[in-house]
Amino acid sequence: MNFFKFVKASLYCVTHGSKTYFIWLAFLIVLILNGALGLFDQFHNGLIMTNMRDQVSWAFYIGNFTFLVGVAAASVLLVIPAYIYNWKPLKEVVILGELLAISAIVMCLGFVIVDIGHPERFWHLIPFLGNMNIPQSVLAWDVLVLNGYLVLNLVIVTYLLYCSYMEKKYNTTFVHSLVLFSIPLAIGIHTVTAFVYNGLPARPFWNASILAPKFLASAFCSGPAILLILLQILRRTTRLEIRDEAIWKIAELMAYAMAFNLFLTGAEVFKEFYSDTHHTVYSTYMYIGLHGHNAIVPYVWASILFSVIALILFLIPSTRRNPVTMNIGCVLIYAGVYIEKGIGLVIPGMTPDTLGEIYEYFPSPTEIRIAEGIFGLGFLTFTLMLKVAVPIALGEFNIRQSRPETV
């Protein structure tokens, strides 16, 4: 009965707020509705509404999916120092990272759904109900680990918030067991996603053993970059106490991750161009251009430049701790990794195609509308969860006081 009271009070919390809160919700709902209209056009007319073709059958949707899997996996960067080493400044904000992970997985599943040519066959992806072709299909394993990670984070977050609402101490053994299990699962979701690419032998660009560690290294930059900006917004707009030490530690860990990511990029570039085999054609298309086709070259070099500048900003303690330069670094990391996981990963892997044809892809207006709607859904999910989590953390929302102040 107390849990139902918690759910009812949470519903009251998310349906009451300030004018700014409802303006933000209205903006997100407009994005979602616009995306839904684009999705209706795509479902009605087919994937011809996108710019994907036989030559490039994975594109904007799968690039966003890959990027967001990394954002979800990045919560482990907060979990390890917070729970394994019991570092209190991070332990106070780790639940925000888990909320971000849940929102990212929701968006991941959204991009999977819209990328399916026959959406009525989506039920085959549901574990124990559809025909997932376990254990042969790597994609089926990806579905399992993503849904498992989503459920695990939902259980952890719901249990912690419920205990705080009831003003009772949570079961340490139970929470720590789930948290410890979430660490390999977080690494697993991005590793299996990398294996989905690795498992296509007709695409030599993706047949690199460093793809999985490179995915993880870039994820540990992009996810925390989003979280750092969100933490600063929360610190300014709410009474939530977020220590500088927590923000600085996250920024420091991001610097190490980005350094490793750039090292792996350099190692792969050396292997590709020094060996100078026929398979170098994909890297040539990406970094230099091929037969006059160089549409993605500026984006790829911009991604590398953004990452290098961000690394310098985060390596130097004075710029890492300065809010202006730190936020510039966060934006550069986000942009750099977003390009790397999309344009710099999916498109070169499919260009030229297996017959040598070069089809230069750019997302259509329909794809962009649908993507905006999915990102709107993710931010709406995060906002609603945050609307409950922040008052609980401040002690304003509990079993004795189920109607917190509107924010």
136-165 residue pLDDT tens: 778 888 888 888 899 999 999 999 899 888
Average pLDDT of the residues in 58-84: 84
Taking CA atoms, 262 is separated from 55, 190, 267, in Å, by: 29, 18, 9
Give 396's pLDDT tier (boundaries 50, 70, 90).
confident
Which pLDDT belongs to residue 245?
A: 85
Give the whole-angstrom CA distance, residue 73 versus residue 101. 7
| Residue where the block lists tokens 């053993």 | 209
Which pLDDT belongs to residue 231?
A: 86
Residue 82 reports pLDDT greater than 80? no
Q: Which residues contact 213 (CB under 8 A, 6 or more apart)?
A: 260, 264
Residue 404 reports pLDDT greater than 70? no
Residue 382 reports pLDDT greater than 90? yes
**pLDDT > 70 in the chain, percent:** 96
Tokens in use for 396?
A: 């304003």
Domains of the chain (ranges; CATH) run 2-394 (1.20.1630.10)
Which pLDDT belongs to residue 84?
A: 67
Average pLDDT of the residues in 370-379: 96
Residues 260-313 pLDDT 10s:
999 999 999 999 899 888 889 999 999 999 888 988 999 999 999 999 999 999
Residues 87-116 pLDDT 10s:
776 766 778 888 999 999 999 989 988 998
What is the DSSP annotation of 296-355?
THHHHHHHHHHHHHHHHHHHSHHHHSSHHHHHHHHHHHHHHHHHHHTTTTHHHHTSS-TT
Average pLDDT of the residues in 315-330: 93
Residue 325 reports pLDDT greater than 70? yes
Give 406's pLDDT tier (boundaries 50, 70, 90).
low
Which pLDDT belongs to residue 92?
A: 67
What is the torsion angle, in degrees rounded to the nearest 10, for the CA atoms of residue 88, residue 217, residue 382 and residue 392? -10
Give 405's pLDDT tier (boundaries 50, 70, 90).
low
Give backbone dihedrals phi and psi of 293, rounded to 5 degrees, phi first. Answer: -95, 105
Residue 31 reports pLDDT greater than 90? yes
Cα-trace Rg, the chain: 22
Residue 407 reports pLDDT greater than 70? no
Determine what percent of the chain falls in helix, strand and coil, rounding each to the nearest 5.
75, 0, 25
CA angle 129/133/135 to nearest 5° reads 115
